[in-house]
Amino acid sequence: METPTWEQLTTAGADVRLARIAAITDDGTVRVALSDDCIVSADRLESVSIESVRRAHADQRRVMVFLDRQDETQPVILGVVADPFSTQAIVDGENFEIRGDQQVTLRCGKASITLTRAGKIMVRGTYLSSRSSGVNRVKGASVQIN
């Protein structure tokens, strides 16, 4: 069976629209708001993880849903609309900020610095040098060397 074209789907009464996630129940059921007064449970494609849906809900991002115009009670989530701040550089003349939804990595050859959403900072390279004309302090709950 061939995959239907967009024209065939829309002519046949299918619709794709943006929605917001209204709630996610404890059992993982996703409820989407198709409008202010229409909130229904939604299925999701296998490629759309429940974690990405939870992040989208927490960040108040929209989802793209597919539904049959004859039966709008069971939409299918096709994906999460990209966060406009995800992987975006912001420059205001005094600050330079790079944002990433999950992590940001600066890489040059074998050297990299990775920042994660959980607050971890990982510095990797073949040689690491730290110099300071003032105090060079290493502070943490615990410090491990080798």
Chain segment 50-104, per-residue pLDDT in tens: 888 998 898 888 999 998 767 667 889 999 887 665 555 666 777 777 777 788 8
Q: How far apart are CA 39 and CA 42, in angstroms?
A: 9
- 3-state secondary structure (DSSP) of residue 98: strand
Residue with tokens 């209204």: 22
Most confident of 8-12, 19-23, 78-82, 90-94: 19-23
Asked if 61 and 52 count as a contact pair (C-beta separation under 8 A), the reply is no
Q: Which residue, 76, 8, 85, 6, is CA-closest to 41?
A: 76
Query: What type of residue is 80?
Result: V
Domain boundaries, the chain: 6-80, 88-124
- How far is the C-alpha of 34 from the C-alpha of 32, rounded, in Å? 6
Residue 123's Cβ-side half-sphere holds a number of Cα atoms within 13 Å equal to: 4
Q: How far apart are CA 24 and CA 20, in angstroms?
A: 11
- Say how many C-beta atoms besides its own lie within 10 A of residue 16's C-beta: 14
**Structure tokens belonging to residue 55:** 């992040």
C-alpha 73/C-alpha 135 separation (Å) is 63
Q: What is the pLDDT of residue 85?
A: 55
Q: What is the pLDDT of residue 84?
A: 60
pLDDT at 100: 79
Q: Please give the pLDDT value at position 38.
A: 86
What is the fold of 6-80? Answer: OB fold (Dihydrolipoamide Acetyltransferase, E2P) (2.40.50)
Contacts of 8 (CB under 8 A, 6+ apart): none
Q: What band does 9 get if pLDDT is binned at 50, 70 and 90?
A: low
pTM above 0.85? Answer: no
What is residue 1's predicted lDDT score, i.e. its pLDDT?
47
39 burial via Cβ count (<10 Å: 0-12, 13-18, 19+):
middle
Q: Mean pLDDT throughout 104-109?
A: 90
What pLDDT is recorded for position 143?
A: 87
